[in-house]
Structure 1
């Protein structure tokens, strides 16, 4: 039977990426961990050919859309955490494309020490392949074998559904984001379960690009449903919905209530100010960077996902239900 780096990792109690660094880049891992890996490799008969490459001091941060204000605090907090640990951050916009993301990761494997993926558009298999090639941490994605941080929408979503129900809404739409987003699929699943659990009717509208332009198209589709309220995948979609509804003479919240997600910069001075589900994006960035740094320093991996709680911020875009605008 062929012995692989994964076998050595299991014997030594570390990640496969840590084995790769121990054998090929000994300057990037502490001596105690490297000795444990070498002992495991010898016990298993694994061939060792170290290349003595020094740490590069560079970590990549990949985001789907650098213009989305949601990523501003993540960019700043990861950069600060990495700087303290002696790393420089390389920021790359993947353009909401899983294919582009995979290509960039392949190019980065010889350039950086590790990568933080924020809202990755890779599927599970591609993400696992990338993790075998270089150390990763993920933000807003859940994959047990990879260190991750997830802004957990569930509590904030429960509060949003309770809030809309108390205002008299009985049919509530979810405005879906990009179809390649794991987070979008997860948010819809949680939304549907919670709305049904309250005895209300969920409606799926979309998917749409998570932008204000996408929100304009979503608003037109929303108005042909029976929904009197909606929860958008993110705040940019929600703000685009507000703008389009105003253009069409639909009053918010009198005719339609709108809830966003993420509490981005600008959500509180949209017209009207946006009710939204908020989580601590700065903390998400700091934790993701810290977990990747620990891996790069040769510490035993803490795989699995750390959850960041959320809560509802009630502003002026939600109000009591009135006659559906299509019936006015």
Structure 2
């Protein structure tokens, strides 16, 4: 980046004060998403990136630091990925920093630029940014995308096809002819993959399928959907993740509907809570540990100048059968 480009230039293009630009990059949580997006667009347009305080900061811990950017640290799936990445980094002499975008696209990019001066590479975990922005990030430093396929950028994804087929087949064997998919964030790439895979298998088995509006990928998100579901119940439900599935079960129970006597649910992820819930949750195991270790290995290889596959590295999902699916009423 040319040292002639400053925050004052960004402020002029964005139509905000220099202090707002500084606050956007230093403390993104203190500005609105709209302001953050306006500042980031202006910075991209004129080629501004925050300068490192010292060039040596990239190597403060052993061989250096990598950054892991996730949508939500409260989600057990992302926490498991981070733990696996940390284990892989520690074994190779690297340190790790973690930050969350809280599902805000503009903040995801701001965080990337914020950590860029201090790290040797970045793992973008389930990023919500558009592909073109991710490719732009990958041009700035070694980058690997996790749980999303972006053409031209090394990525590690989960192959859910066989597990989803087993889940839909299981519902069919239990006598269900209608199914609801509780969708996650509209910006989630893997959410689109889940929907298309479920839809294809339902079409193959002549099962009627409906899709919810985008819901928050949380317990509350599943709970909030209950009233909409009860307007046209299908009996069988697949949720975007386990948290939503558990929230849905809790919401249905409050309204007098027990699982699996009155309805059946399958989740995604296989969080620890899935096995401890009542009833224990049938779910599609998404191998977070393998995903994290493979992604970290790919990034560290890229940092070291090794070969990294240009196409997606895949790890398989599997169906875990427990007690949240019963026979159709």
Q: TM range, normalised to the smaller chain? A: 0.7 to 0.9
Aligned pairs for 1:126-165 within 5 A: 126-165=133-172
In the TM superposition, residue 90 of structure 1 has moved relative to its aligned partner by 0.1
CA RMSD of aligned residues (A): 1.4
Provide the rounded CA distance (Å) in 2 between the counterparts of 1:279 and 1:102: 26
Aligned pairs for 1:1-328 within 5 A: 56=59, 57-322=64-329
In the TM superposition, residue 199 of structure 1 has moved relative to its aligned partner by 0.9
In the TM superposition, residue 174 of structure 1 has moved relative to its aligned partner by 0.7
SS of corresponding position for 1:95: coil
In the TM superposition, residue 83 of structure 1 has moved relative to its aligned partner by 1.3
Provide the rounded CA distance (Å) in 2 between the counterparts of 1:233 and 1:158: 15
In the TM superposition, residue 226 of structure 1 has moved relative to its aligned partner by 3.9
SS of corresponding position for 1:253: coil
Q: For 1:89-125, what per-residue CA distance to the aligned partner results, in whole angstroms no more than 9, with x for missing partners?
A: 0011110111110111112221211111111111111
Provide the rounded CA distance (Å) in 2 between the counterparts of 1:239 and 1:94: 24
In the TM superposition, residue 197 of structure 1 has moved relative to its aligned partner by 1.1
SS of corresponding position for 1:230: strand
Q: For 1:170-226, what per-residue CA distance to the aligned partner results, in whole angstroms no more than 9, with x for missing partners?
A: 010110000111111111111111111111111101210000000111222222124
Q: Provide runs of 4+ in structure 1 moved above 6 Å.
A: none
In the TM superposition, residue 155 of structure 1 has moved relative to its aligned partner by 1.1
In the TM superposition, residue 144 of structure 1 has moved relative to its aligned partner by 3.0
Higher relative CO (Cα under 8 Å, sequence separation at least 6) belongs to 1
In the TM superposition, residue 302 of structure 1 has moved relative to its aligned partner by 1.7
- C-alpha contact 1:242 1:271 (8 A) present in aligned 2: no
SS of corresponding position for 1:92: strand
Provide the rounded CA distance (Å) in 2 between the counterparts of 1:317 and 1:206: 23
SS of corresponding position for 1:266: helix
Scaled by the length of structure 2, the TM-score of the pair is: 0.80
In the TM superposition, residue 227 of structure 1 has moved relative to its aligned partner by 1.1
Structure 2 gaps of 5+ residues are 1-54
Q: Which has the larger radius of gyration?
A: 1
SS of corresponding position for 2:181: strand
